[in-house]
Amino acid sequence: MSFLDALDTSASGLSAQRMRMKLISSNLANINTTRTDEGGPYRRKDLVFQAAAKGGEFGRKLSEQLENQRYEVQVAEIHDDPRPPIMKFEPTHPDADAKGYVAVPNINVVEEMVNMISATRSYEANVSAVKATKEMASNAMEIGK
């Protein structure tokens, strides 16, 4: 694995964690959204990561022949949380049903904060990997002088 391969892998991890942070921020920002364009309350969003071969079809075939498969982190899918909304009794709310209940998003602030801390730590780990790779490349060039 070359230095550039290591940087590419870390960069894909950084990008994936940034996307995760955006979704967490969106979930927290919409914690009280009772009406969306799709109808009903906001649905919590979550994503699934996958390891994908780097380099497209040609790069995959070349890597297979060289037995040096390279992978990157990709977002496989973004899906809505299947948990049903929470029903709160607020008869004066404009979105209340005939019985006075309002459907609010089923978003747990503690869960989102834990996910945010996890994403932050993963992001920091990838930044550390990028720094270490840069230092190794720099040291290798110093040896060559």
How far is the C-alpha of 26 from the C-alpha of 31, rounded, in Å?
9
**Residue carrying the six token digits 């709310």:** 93
Strand spans (E) along 45-100: 45-53, 71-80, 86-89
Q: What is the pTM of this model?
A: 0.80
Please write the tens of the pLDDT for every residue from 3-30.
Answer: 787 888 889 899 999 999 999 999 999 9
How far is the C-alpha of 60 from the C-alpha of 71, rounded, in Å?
10
Per-residue pLDDT of the chain (145 residues; tens, 9 = 90+): 577 878 888 898 999 999 999 999 999 999 999 999 888 899 999 999 988 877 666 655 666 665 666 778 889 999 999 999 999 999 999 999 999 999 999 999 999 999 999 999 999 999 999 999 899 888 888 887 7
Q: Which residues pair with 52 in a beta bridge?
A: 72
Residue 36 in 3-state DSSP? coil
